Structure 1
Amino acid sequence: MSDLMGISMESSRVAIVGVGGIGEPCADICAQLGAHLILADRAAPQASAARIRGQYGTQVDAHALDMGSVEDVKRFCSAIGDVDALIVTAAILPEERELEPGSPEWEDSFQRVYNINLRGPMLLAQLAMQKMIERKTGRIVLLGSLAGRSGGLLSGAQYASSKGALHTLVRWLALRAASHGVSVNGLAPGATATPMLHNEVVDTRKIPAGRLAQPLEIARVAAFLASPAASYMHGAVVDVNGGACFS
């Protein structure tokens, strides 16, 4: 059935950046669909790679990658070579409420958020896209957020604006890649039960579905966008938020 629906990833090389939270179930799904995986996080996710390799028998490589470092992003892209799909879930959510706007601490936090949430994914996507355009095929998926749609009820200005900018980046990249056989899409998850929200209290009564998303529910959409089944989707930012917001 998966082949019939066009979602087989047999022998595809899929790079997943940001293995914590949503990234790990993305890796599981892609492995189940037959992909060879390249996993990256700030510390090389060797344990996740070993688990997935043992569970699914697929090829899995693990890399350390600091998304806030331009040189590290360039090094990673050079090391992994050509990939058929790139899924970027890496992001940080700072405790902005503890910082005085305009203070040196706030400025440092702002720079770090934008480096990891926007600049790193932008550079990584552009470098991957160049190689995909040469090959006339490829999929890029960037993880945005409901905060980028709504202005952020739980998050501060830094996170919300970085994700709103990422949504715009998805469209900017897609406009330049679509005619070359490369698709760029994103998704905007609502509040999800990941470690990122461990200090947040979410009023689930405000979510029509009445609960937080589970990481697997977001990962399924990301994996779909990275698969051949999404071949005619370009520049979409898919809402996956339990009905909390519609674009």
Structure 2
Amino acid sequence: MSITTTPARCVVVTGAAGGIGQGIVESFLATGDTVIAVDAVAEALSALRSNLGTDTDQLRTIEGDVTDPASWTQIATETVTSGAKEIILVNNAGISPKRDGERIPGVEVPYEEWARVLEVNLTGPFLGIQALAPLMKQAKFGRIINMSSLAGRDGGRLGGVHYAATKTGLLGVTRYFARELAPDGITVNAIAPGRIGVGMVGSVSEEVNSAYLSRIPVGRLGIANDVAQAVQYLAASDNGFVTGVTVDVNGGSYMG
């Protein structure tokens, strides 16, 4: 007679098909967790599954828009279906529009672009917390990790005003919910990556990235696993006393 077991943890990762997102997904698959990978592009999710070489139920994919409450309803339903007792939310999805690989001067940013960046980078995580926190409350356990940025710490050198504003705002969202959800066993923290050599950084010229190296004491760009390891630390089931903090992953380029 076979015995069906349920996973201890279900991890929801948004922006899962990007460079950092894929590193986070891979790290949780390696620890045996069920991962719900969310991305807006179906083809990117197919590529993610192919890149990771897995076709098991351990990795579930959802094509969804983090700015759409209906997508979050679907994600919450899939989370319940997983049967996991512990839920982790990694709000990783984000956009940083450029013009010819360079940031757009703040006075020239079109309103539509400003509004879209706020929707994805700030409203998306807010909706995610609203959708999954009630499930975490029922279990008296939860881990929420919001992906901010070095731009949210120093005002941004390479990202636009809308990117810096949203990543700074996300730190406020993190602290607010850390206080509100703490009595229910839910921690809420943020990670502020510096220059990570995947994803959005790939749209920046090699010259720009090379010049930026002089600002990084460890002498290299970050890799996706640098961020994934910080996520693992904050997501640990026995790490319930760390909440409301921002973990800087930037090779020493910012020491706040």
* Common fold: TM-score over 0.5: yes
Q: Would you say 1:90 and 2:102 are equivalent positions?
A: no
Letter in 2 for 1:40: V
In the alignment, what sits opposite 2:54?
54
Deviations 1:19-59 (A, max 9, x none): 1111111111111111011111002413323554639x661
Tell me the secondary structure at the aligned position of residue 36 of structure 2. strand
- Check 1:231–1:108 CA distance in 2 against 1; reply closer, same or farther (3 A cut): same
Question: 1:177-196 counterparts in 2 under 5 A?
Answer: 177-196=181-200
Rounded to whole Å, the distance in 2 between the matches of 1:192 and 1:142 is: 16
Q: Which amino acid aligns with 2:191?
A: L
When the two chains are superposed, the root-mean-square deviation of aligned CA atoms in Å is 2.2
Deviation string for 1:175-226 (max 9, x for gaps)? Answer: 0111111111111000111130123213210111122101111111112211
Relative to structure 1, the CA distance from residue 131 to residue 152 in structure 2 (aligned partners, 3 Å threshold; closer, same or farther) is same
Kindly indicate whether residue 232 of structure 2 is the aligned counterpart of residue 243 of structure 1. no
Q: 2:53, 2:198 → 1: CA distance?
A: 23
Counterpart of 1:140?
A: 144
Counterpart-to-counterpart distance in 2, 1:241 and 1:188: 8
Instruction: Compute the TM-score of the two structures, normalised by the length of structure 1.
Output: 0.87
Question: Alpha carbons of 1:79 and 1:98: their partners in 2 closer, same or farther (altered >3 Å)?
Answer: same
Partner of 1:3: none
In the other structure, the counterpart of 2:4 is: none
Further displaced range: 216-225 or 106-115:
216-225
1:159: how far off?
Answer: 0.1
The residue type paired with residue 14 of structure 2 is V
CA contact (8 A) 1:137 1:180 kept: yes
Which residue of structure 2 aligns with residue 70 of structure 1?
A: 69
CA distance in 1, matches of 2:200, 2:60: 25
2:110 paired with 1:111:
no
Give unmatched runs, 5+ long, in structure 2: 1-6
Q: Give the letter aligned to residue 133 of structure 1.
A: K
1:171 partner amino acid: R
Number of aligned residue pairs: 236
Q: Deviation above 2 Å: which 4+ runs of structure 1?
A: 46-55, 68-83, 96-103
